[in-house]
Structures are given as C-alpha cells and as structure tokens.
Structure 1
Amino acid sequence: MTVDVRTLAESDYPDWLRALNTGFLRPPVATDEDVADRLTFTLLDRTLGAFDDGRCVATFRSFPQQLTAVGGRTVAADAISNVTVSPTHRRRGLLGRMVAADLAAAKERGEVVATLIAAEYQIYGRYGFGPGAWIAEWEIDVQRAGFDRQRPGPDDGGRIDLVDGAEVRRIGPALHERLRGRQHGAVDRDDRWWRAATGVAGVRAPGAWTEPFHAVYHSAGGEVEGLVAYTADSDWGATKQPSGTVQVLDLVAASPAAERALWRYLCSVDWITKVRTGRRAPDDLLLAVLPDPRAARILTLSDWLWVRLLDVPAALEARTYSGTGALILEVEDRQGLAGGRFRLDVTPAGVRCVPTEDAAELALSVGELGSLWLGGESAVRLAEVDRVVELRPGAAAVADALFRTSRRAWCPDQF
C-alpha cells in the first residue's frame, strides 16, 4: 500500500508520539500524560506523519522561530524538530516527502529561513541546509586554570548571587533577549522553555528532574547581566581528596564582564576540580579569560545549527556586512524554492539584493550560501574544495570580505 504523508489530527497524536519514541530509540510507548503535555506546545497543522496501513512510521514537526542574523536583526524561521523514520521504513523517500511539504508551506508563509539541529551530518545537505553555527565544549582543570581561588568574587565591583527557579523565570527571558540581540545564530526562547529549564514543565518521569544551581551576576550598578545554571557532583574518592565536576547547563551573558565573572565563579566552587562548559561558541571568551588556557581540554567541536535559505534577497538584506562591495551570486536550489541569480550591493546607504540577468561571479548551492550567511564559513575555503565556483577570479575573496564576521555564530539551544 502507498504510505500516506499528511498533517495530524489530534486523534493521530498518540500513535505519532509512539513512532517518535521508536525513531529515537526510546521505549515505544506514549502515555496519556506524555500526550497531554506535548499537545500543549505542538502545532498539529505543522506536524507531519507518514502512515502505512494506519500506523505511523515517520514523524516531522516544525514551529515558528526567531533567528538573529548578523548585526542583530531577527528573521522569521521555520524550526524543524522531531524528525524520525521507523527502522522498518527507511530508504523509501518518506523524509524527502515530509521535508518538501514543510519547506513549501514555510515559504508560502513568508518565513525567510528554515533551521534544524542535525543528528547526522549526511542527511540534510540534500535538502538545501548547510551548517551555519558550530559549537565547542571544554573541560577545565580548575587547579591549573590560574584563578585566585582565595578571591573568587568578580573583580569589577559586581556580585554573584544564588537564586531559585522562580527568580530565573522572572529575570531570564529579558536577559536572553539581550544576548540574542547581539549574538547572531541565537534563537528565541518561549515561556515553556524557561518553565522546562526550571522544572515546572516537561518533566514526566519520577526522578527525571535534578534541580540545578542558578547563579546571577549583577554589575557594579546593580543590573542583571549574566546567569548560569549548573549541576555538580561531590565525589571524594578513596583518598579523601575532592574531585567534583560542575556541568554547565546554560550560561547567558549580556556583557563580556558577566561572562568573565561567571567563569571565574564556576572555577572557584569548593570541592570542584573540573568544570564542563556545555555547548559554547568555538571562539568563546573562555580561553581568553583563563589565566592558563591550557587548563581547558576540548571535548567537542561540531556543527550545530543548520540553516536553509527560503528567500535569498530577504535573508541577505536582513544582515549587516563587514565592508562595502558588490557580488553576483548564482544560487542552485534542487528543491526549486530559492534558487536564481542575485546581485548583492552593500553600500554605506544600506544593503540591496535583487534578481539579475548580469553575468554571475560566484556559483554555489543554497546550502553553501546558508553556511556563509551567518558569517562562520569562508568562501575561499569552500572554493578550494570545489564547493563554490569562482566564475570571476577573486570573487570568493570578495564574498569573504563581505560575509565573514569578527565573532562566530552561536546557537546555545537545542530544539
């Protein structure tokens, strides 16, 4: 029988959730509590399932998102999540059908880009996505870090206080919006995100929630500028020497001073010998903050946020650029959603991107343009491995002069 791909009715949701759990290798059940909780934030008209003889065998969900472009403007994004295909139905084109339906609907709605966190690298390039923001995670050897542990407080007149989850829900959203306003690659967080991060939503199994510590940095003027959530163990071992580890869950800093103060604080907690940083930008300030950067051992360096342009002129006009110049791009899009030839003009008066019939100077796929768009990739580097093609000598260098940014894109969130 033909497998039917369609949006969900509410009655489909328990079976869809069972298929989702199957795909993620979780117990293939969907309790009434799970269904009721997840339906509170699931948009059924943006949730797809593939049904074979009435049984759900593939899942796909999207939701509206705000993504910060280079320079601080936000663009409307189609955020994709919960993508699975059951092991019995692999290699039948089900993912392709669901992606095509969702991206076409997103373009019709006027969303500028689509985003996702890719579980596997090889899958999403074929649908026009490219890695736009990477992450790194370090483990800090506290005893080597070089901080004065006898003076653990901020050295700028600020202070750090421990707070509870209710206070985090009160101050966290505005603080994150300040970070998002200056950090390209960051995405918005809704009220449910903060409720889940503080244990009042999304916890469905006994013992599944561990209350973290929350520490807030106030500037010398009393303004909230930083927040960190972390867990810690207190392992002493057989030798009666402390060897505890801090695991950072989230660190939001609206200023470099806040970031410096929070890292210093984490490295001063008694009984802690290691700090795991959680997902940070590859060029995070951490290594510059540590008196001895060799105290930080990298654990992860990986692609994270993938971007798919749906409207090339709108995306290119939404961001700022490092200088001025002009470039004609030939953009290939196998899905037929955003391809074409475009002239990008960056002048002191502003940015303009329009379709053109002039001779192209740089040819690339929409996925490669997605990687360049957030500023973290080099067109010259991609040209050297034939992932972009210079149709005019020097065009890749012009692209780098325009698109590259002084700081890397970073998305602290998983979705």
Structure 2
Amino acid sequence: MNLDLRTVTESEYPDWLRAVGTGFLNSTVPTEEEIKGRLAHTDLSRVQGVFDAGRCVATFRSFAQELSVVGGATVRADAISGVTVTPTHRRRGLLGRMMTADLAAAKERGEVVASLLAAEYPIYGRYGFGPATWTTQWEIDVPRAGLDPRRPVPSEEDGGRIDFVDGAEVRKLGPALHDRLAARQPGVINRDQRWWQLNTGLDLPPNDPWKEPFYAVHRSADGEVDGLIAYRADDNWGDAKQPLNKATVKSMIAVSPEAERALWLFLCSIDWITTVRTGHRAPDDLLPLLLPDPRAARIVTQADWLWLRLLDVPRALEARTYATEATLVLDIQDGAGLTAGRFRLDVSPSGASCTPTTQSADLTLDVGDLATLYLGDESALRLAALGRAEENRAGAAASAEAVFRTARRPWCPDMF
C-alpha cells in the first residue's frame, strides 16, 4: 500500500479537514466558508497529511508559539495540534512519520521546545514528550462555602474595585495583562490578536453558537487593572422558585493575589449564583483556601495538560532561572537523537550555563522526563523513586530537586 506523506496543498485542505473530523469523531462536513476562514489563519507549510490513493488518512499541523518559563523569559515553541490517524489506517507508523518530520523541521527552525495537549496519555512519551503542567477544575457549592454576602469584596476595603466591561475593552486591556501574567507564571503560552477576537465574539467561525460572556476587571487602589474574568451564567430555577444558577468561568487572569482573591469572592457573591465552575486552573490555585469552608470546592477535573518536548537542551535550560547555586551533569537519553548528550548545568540566582561535557554524569534521564522537570512541576526525587531518573552520584536527585523545583506550580491557561 502506497501511503504518501506530504505537505498539504490548498486544494487538499478540505479533505485534510474532513480527516481531522473523522479522527476526532466529528462527522460534520465543513462548509466552503469555514474552509476559507480556516485557511486564512493556517500556515500550510506546517500542515502534513498522509494520503492513500488520494484520500487523506492522517493529519498533523504545527504553528509558532511562545512559552513562558521560570523567571519570566519566553522560548520559541513548535505547537502541535490536529493530530489524527483514521481508524482504518492505525498501527502503520503514520504518526511516527509525521512527528519525525515535524520535530526535525522545528529544530532546524531553531525552536527550543515542542508543545501539545495530549488527547490520550500513552501516545506521546515515546516521542520524547512529558507532561510539564497539570490542570484542576473545581465546582463550588456557594451556599456551603460560608461566605457572608453582606461583606464587601476584600479589595474594596483597601480601595480596589471591580467594574464590568465589554468585549472592546477586553481587547484593549487584555493583551498587556496577559503579558504580565506570562512574566510571572511559567507555562503560559502567547495569545495573538485572533485569540482575543475569537474570545470576545469577533471573527467567529460560521455557525458558532456564540453567547456573550460577562466581563469584569479588578482595579487596584491606584486604578491599575490587575485582574480580568470572563464568565457565563445559566438560567435555572427550582420548583420552589429557588435560584439554582451556575456561573462558568471561561477565562480568569490575575497578576496579584489581591486581584485573584477579589475576583473569586466577587463571583461567589453574585445574587442567584449557587454554583461556580472555575474552568481550568493551576492545581495549587488559591481558590479553595479562600473560602471559609474549602470543602465547598469539589474537584471535578484533575489531569495532565501541557506536554513539552525539548529540542535544544542547552538553550532551554539557560532560558529559565534558578533559586539556588549548584552544578549538575545530566546525561540525557533521546531515542530520536534530536538533543541527546551529556550536559554540565551550572546555575545560580544570577544566571545559568549549560554546555556539552565529557564529565561523569550525576543523573541520567530521558528527554521526556527532563521535560516534566523543566517548568518546576515534577519532583526529581519522585522520578528517581520510579526508576525514571538514575542517580550516578549519591544525592544527585536531591540536587536536581533543589535546582528545578519551584515554589508554585506552572500553569497553562489555554487550550490549542
């Protein structure tokens, strides 16, 4: 069987979209208007397909992305999406062929990492990816939370305030606020102008069932906007004429603990809202402990989220900051051969240096496990206990723990 892997042309793109739909169990046929709209924002040079007798049976695309790392710098990422293999063509190595081609091209372009959100956990470890951030979603039983609705939102006591705004104001204020979040939160990916348009109801795909959210901003005592929330509410009343309305958060940015606290407590104080669904948050979000009764916040989602694959170990490790002074020699295993080698990592609060070396290794681990350590989320000691990091020097895992681990967990707010 001749299975041809190639870059997708404009004329082949509709069939590629059909194959994507098949892979994600969506039988809807895209209209010409939808196809035209998607093409306007797609770099076809980074769209791959596998074709069997002219019919697309596997799909893969990537696009340029920026990822915030520990310390506030950003690195160039190869963001991967739209990955499918048609059920009739599984187990033929098609994903491996597409992934190999894409990662090689990304490394050639000078991208430091590759990123993706894994629909299935077992797939991507074999290509050198590891889960670098996790996500948690809570559902809050507002009446049980123990909040006093008569009290003002805490920031108001300190001169802060919350104001409703519209989509135009969000497009004006949001990008700079998001940049501030990225500078303090590892794991954040960039939001381009199209993201802000799509998420405020502009330039929507045809037949998109858009419902305008409520938007509110938090202003500190000096008038600076340091928080933004977008949420929707349903209209649900019980038989006894009691409100049972749920607010669902679509997006929330806060660049100060005061703003984060104020926005959550504001949302939980809205009349008729008896349930709040938080959207995807960092697992160590402040939220549950903000409530008088944290058990009122029930975890409904706890899962891996952003997966990373390092393409250039020295550049990646030099881009982030470190809270301690140490030297580690890392022997990085990479079955694809993209970034395997032995590297000496010298770190201090003032900077880092990572260079190839012939010195004896302190710690040996796979490139995918290094990705889980990269943003500070995973424990090197836990990897050693699992047999996924080999100590070549006694105490090396503890040293790596001190080097890589961060006080707060990384978080990626977005899906792509």
Q: TM-score, normalised by structure 1?
A: 0.98
Question: Within the alignment, does 1:158 sit opposite 2:167 as a pair?
Answer: no
Structure 1 CA distance for aligned equivalents of residues 213 and 125 of structure 2: 37
CA drift at 1:255: 1.2
Unaligned ranges ≥5, structure 1: none
Contact 2:327 2:344 (C-alpha < 8 Å) held by counterparts: yes
Q: Which letter maps to 2:110?
A: G
Contact 2:322 2:348 (C-alpha < 8 Å) held by counterparts: no
Structure 2 CA distance for aligned equivalents of residues 385 and 346 of structure 1: 26
Structure 1 CA distance for aligned equivalents of residues 79 and 16 of structure 2: 19
Contact 2:37 2:205 (C-alpha < 8 Å) held by counterparts: no
CA drift at 1:146: 2.4
Structure 2 CA distance for aligned equivalents of residues 160 and 350 of structure 1: 39
Q: Secondary structure at the match of 2:305?
A: strand
Q: Secondary structure at the match of 1:406?
A: coil
Question: Within the alignment, does 1:18 sit opposite 2:32 as a pair?
Answer: no
Q: Secondary structure at the match of 2:29?
A: coil
CA drift at 1:385: 0.9
Contact 1:234 1:271 (C-alpha < 8 Å) held by counterparts: no
Q: Which letter maps to 1:262?
A: L
Structure 1 residues 46 and 182, CA gap change in structure 2 (3 angstroms): same
Q: Which letter maps to 2:321?
A: T
- Say which is worse superposed, 238-247 or 343-352, in terms of deviation: 343-352
Aligned position for 1:386: 387
Q: Deviations over 1:318-360 (max 9, x none)?
A: 0111201011111000011011000101135521100011111
Structure 2 CA distance for aligned equivalents of residues 85 and 221 of structure 1: 54
CA drift at 1:203: 3.1
Q: Which letter maps to 1:173?
A: P
Q: Which letter maps to 1:327?
A: L
Aligned position for 2:179: 177
Structure 2 CA distance for aligned equivalents of residues 134 and 156 of structure 1: 33
Q: TM-score, normalised by structure 2?
A: 0.98
Aligned position for 2:245: 244
Aligned position for 2:169: 167
CA drift at 1:138: 0.5
Q: Secondary structure at the match of 2:252?
A: strand
Aligned position for 1:340: 341
Q: Which letter maps to 1:201?
A: D
Structure 2 CA distance for aligned equivalents of residues 286 and 142 of structure 1: 13
Q: How does 1:45-64 map to 2 (within 5 A)?
A: 45-64=45-64
Aligned position for 1:136: 136
Aligned position for 1:146: 146
Q: Which letter maps to 1:389?
A: E
- Say which is worse superposed, 385-394 or 307-316, in terms of deviation: 385-394
Q: Which letter maps to 1:185?
A: G
Q: Deviations over 1:215-234 (max 9, x none)?
A: 11111111111111111112
CA drift at 1:291: 2.1
Contact 2:322 2:349 (C-alpha < 8 Å) held by counterparts: no
Aligned position for 1:312: 313
CA drift at 1:390: 0.7
Aligned position for 2:361: 360
CA drift at 1:248: 0.5
Aligned position for 1:292: 293
Contact 1:152 1:264 (C-alpha < 8 Å) held by counterparts: no
User: Among the aligned pairs, what percent are the same residue?
Assistant: 64
Structure 1 CA distance for aligned equivalents of residues 251 and 213 of structure 2: 10
Give every structure 1 segment of 4 or more consecutive aligned residues whose post-TM-superposition deviation is greater than 6 Å. Answer: none
- Say which is worse superposed, 150-159 or 181-190, in terms of deviation: 150-159
CA drift at 1:156: 2.6
Structure 1 CA distance for aligned equivalents of residues 364 and 80 of structure 2: 27
Aligned position for 2:203: 201
Q: Secondary structure at the match of 1:346?
A: strand
Q: Which letter maps to 2:219?
A: H
Contact 2:323 2:349 (C-alpha < 8 Å) held by counterparts: no
Contact 1:18 1:30 (C-alpha < 8 Å) held by counterparts: yes
Q: Which letter maps to 1:414?
A: M
Aligned residues between the structures: 414
Q: Which letter maps to 2:312?
A: D
- Say which is worse superposed, 103-112 or 282-291, in terms of deviation: 282-291
Q: Which letter maps to 1:172?
A: G
Question: Within the alignment, does 1:8 sit opposite 2:46 as a pair?
Answer: no
Structure 1 residues 348 and 176, CA gap change in structure 2 (3 angstroms): closer
Q: Which letter maps to 2:148?
A: D
CA drift at 1:151: 2.8
Question: Within the alignment, does 1:65 sit opposite 2:43 as a pair?
Answer: no
Structure 1 CA distance for aligned equivalents of residues 253 and 223 of structure 2: 17
CA drift at 1:76: 0.4
Aligned position for 2:31: 31
Contact 1:379 1:397 (C-alpha < 8 Å) held by counterparts: yes
Aligned position for 1:235: 236
CA drift at 1:294: 1.4
Structure 2 CA distance for aligned equivalents of residues 362 and 414 of structure 1: 33
Q: Which letter maps to 2:316?
A: A
CA drift at 1:147: 2.3
Question: Within the alignment, does 1:96 sit opposite 2:111 as a pair?
Answer: no
Q: Secondary structure at the match of 1:258?
A: helix
Contact 2:218 2:228 (C-alpha < 8 Å) held by counterparts: yes
- Say which is worse superposed, 328-337 or 236-245, in terms of deviation: 236-245
Structure 1 residues 241 and 12, CA gap change in structure 2 (3 angstroms): same
Q: Deviations over 1:84-124 (max 9, x none)?
A: 11111111111111110000000000000000000000000
Q: Which letter maps to 1:395?
A: A
Structure 1 CA distance for aligned equivalents of residues 221 and 290 of structure 2: 19
Q: Secondary structure at the match of 1:10?
A: coil
Q: Which letter maps to 1:248?
A: V
Contact 2:323 2:348 (C-alpha < 8 Å) held by counterparts: no
Structure 2 CA distance for aligned equivalents of residues 143 and 359 of structure 1: 60
CA RMSD of aligned residues (A): 1.1
Q: Deviations over 1:163-212 (max 9, x none)?
A: 11111111111111111111000010001101110111233216x11111
